[in-house]
Amino acid sequence: MRHVIGRLLAGGTLTVLLLASVLHAQEFKIGSKVVQVHGFGTQGFIHTNGNNWLTMNTSGVGSGAITDFGLNMGMQISPNLRIAGQFYDRKLGKLGNWEPLMDWAMLDYHPKSWLGFRVGKVKTVLGLFTDTQDMDFANTFALMPQSVYPIDLRDATIAHEGGDIYGKERLPHKLGAIAYTAYGGRRSDSMHSGYPYLLSSFGIQLTSLSGPVFGGDFRWKTPVRGLLVGVSRLNERITGIGMSNVGAGGVAIPMSSYNEHSKHDWTNQYYGQYTANRWHAESEYRRYVRDQMIANGTVESLVDVRGWYMSGGFRVCKWFEAGSYYSHYRNVNALNVSPNGTVSSDYAARDFDKVVAGKVTVNQYMTVKVEGHFMSGYANQPYPNGYYTTVNPNGFANNTNALVVRTGFSF
């Protein structure tokens, strides 16, 4: 086992080292305007001692099928006007499938500090990290707390097609500063994301999952030095369209049209962050409610997820940072079914994850992160949180421990 991990890490690390050695921030000109080019990429390895995780075959020898990369470009057209965009691709087990995405592409006009406008495919501001989660070099952890930032559902909140109004302003009397964002538009998920993959195990093949979204974020940089608090709200009305070969009672039928739609679909998120010298600490609480009509409007399904985490990190020296978090996920409407089919536990409704981590900064381009996850539960009903029956055909173990190693570069 140690030799397998060693070979995988050596191969991934060598690839990242070679990329980091030849890539650095680039720029070129269009007329008199400078276009800046930046990029990032990560290669990971995950081994679990119980359930297969994140659609990968992580038990046994483990899996290195966790790779992503992005390339973004930006140009300052005038002092108040900027255009920027990002291309993104990934392979996460059965997800992503190397399907290239225009992650975001927007025009940003910012005439005043308290008033700005963004239009296009705009990064969604939701909580502390939704719009910055790709900045792997700035994050302590290889995997962010999955109760609030599930990597398999990244497409659901990363961006919206529409517009933002935003701004920030200092408050009088040394009361700190505030920042706000209000947005509206449309969300459109990749068909290679976690929710479409979950439905495929029930004989449902989605061809689109999209709908209108609107929401906002308000944050306060308090008079207490290093303390930030905030709140976000996201409202959606999502429709899924596709084909299904499953009829009433789970009986197989010829392929026919399928649709589902949400009646109520919203997220509330509350957060706080404290930084001081070499310390940082964060905590967020997210409630996600999705009341939807599935199976062509014949069945009502309610998802009510309560997720929260507490995390912290300490930079021991210039090149090493230690961190830890506790992530708490519970779907209060999930079926409380244990692996043997008895209604005697709530493991199917929860995922409690204790994490210890270390981050090594090799140079300005490269980081290596190693962390251990100690998880109780396998929340997979009726909305995914990392665990899928397709890659766990023999049922689920109640507890899972995981080793996660992720090497990243940025330029």
For the stretch 354-401, pLDDT in tens is 999 999 999 999 999 999 999 999 987 777 889 999 999 999 999 999
More confident residue, 332 or 171: 171
Secondary structure of residue 137 in the 3-state scheme: helix
Look at strands 399-410 and 33-48 and give their pairing. antiparallel
- pLDDT class for 26, splitting at 50, 70, 90? confident
Percent over 90 (pLDDT), the chain:
78
Residue 387 near residue 396, CB atoms below 8 Å: yes
Q: Which of 28-42, 240-254, 271-285 comes out lowest in average pLDDT? A: 240-254
Question: What are the φ/ψ torsions at residue 184 (nearest 5 degrees)?
Answer: -155, 155
User: In the prediction, which pLDDT does 3 show?
Assistant: 43
* H or E segment and range at residue 194: helix 194-200
Residue 181 has pLDDT above 90, yes or no: yes
Q: What domain range is 313 assigned to?
A: 2-410
Statement: residue 345 has pLDDT above 70: no
For the chain, the first-to-last Cα distance in angstroms comes to: 33
What pLDDT does residue 50 have? 84
pLDDT digits (tens, 9 = 90+) for 139-180: 999 999 999 999 999 988 999 999 999 999 999 999 999 999
At residue 385, the pLDDT reads 87
Q: Which two tokens stand for residue 279?
A: 């310390």
pLDDT at 12 over 60: no
The per-residue pLDDT for 138 is 87
Looking at the chain, how many residues does it have? Answer: 411
Q: Amino acid identity, residue 112?
A: K
3-state secondary structure string across 16-72? HHHHHHHCCCEEEEECCEEEEEEEEEEEEEEEECCCCCCCCCCCCCCEEEEEEEEEE
Residue 334: its pLDDT value, please? 65
CB atoms within 10 A of CB 146: 24
Q: Tens digit of pLDDT for each residue in 62-94?
A: 999 999 999 999 999 999 999 999 999 999 999
pLDDT given for residue 335 in this prediction: 54
Tell me phi and psi for residue 80, to 5 degrees: -110, 0
pLDDT-derived band at 248 (thresholds 50, 70, 90) equals low
pLDDT for the residue numbered 384:
81
Tokens of 380: 């997979």
What integer pLDDT is reported at residue 153 of this predicted model?
Answer: 93
CB atoms inside a 10 Å sphere around CB 174 = 7
CA–CA distance, 401 with 354 (Å, rounded to integer): 10
Nearest CA among 326, 286, 280 for reference residue 140: 280
Q: What tokens appear for 162 in the block?
A: 């529409």
Contact between 168 and 177 under an 8 Å Cβ cutoff? The reply is yes
Strands (E) across 133-203 are located at 159-170, 177-188
> What does the pLDDT look like over 183-206, one tens digit per residue?
999 999 999 999 999 999 889 999
pLDDT reported for residue 10: 41
d(CA 98, CA 102): 13
Mean pLDDT of 91-119: 96
Q: How far is the CA of 68 from the CAs of 43, 90, 191, 402, in angstroms? A: 7, 4, 17, 20
CA dihedral 297, 156, 400, 284 (to 10 degrees): -110
43 pLDDT above the threshold of 80: yes
CATH number assigned to the domain comprising residue 68: 2.40.160.10
14 falls in which pLDDT band (50, 70, 90)?
very low
Which tokens hold the place of 372?
Answer: 């251990």
Share of the chain above pLDDT 70, in %: 90
Q: What is the pLDDT of residue 348?
A: 86
Average pLDDT, integer, range 91-99: 95
- Two tokens, residue 321: 């940072």
The type of residue at 257 is S
Q: Considering its fold, how many domains does the chain have in total?
A: 1
**Rg over CA atoms, the chain:** 22
Distance CA 405, CA 123 (A): 27
366 closest CA partner among 73, 151, 136, 46: 136
pLDDT, position 17: 46
DSSP class per residue in 360-394? EE-SSSEEEEEEEEEEE----SSS-SS--GGG-TT
pLDDT for position 336: 46
User: Residue 101: what pLDDT?
Assistant: 92
Task: Please report, for residues 186, 203, 263, 385, 388, the alpha-carbon distance to residue 258 in angstroms, rounded to integers and kept in the order given.
Answer: 21, 11, 17, 24, 21
Kindly tell me if the per-residue pLDDT of 330 is higher than 90: yes
Alpha-helix runs per DSSP H in 216-293: none
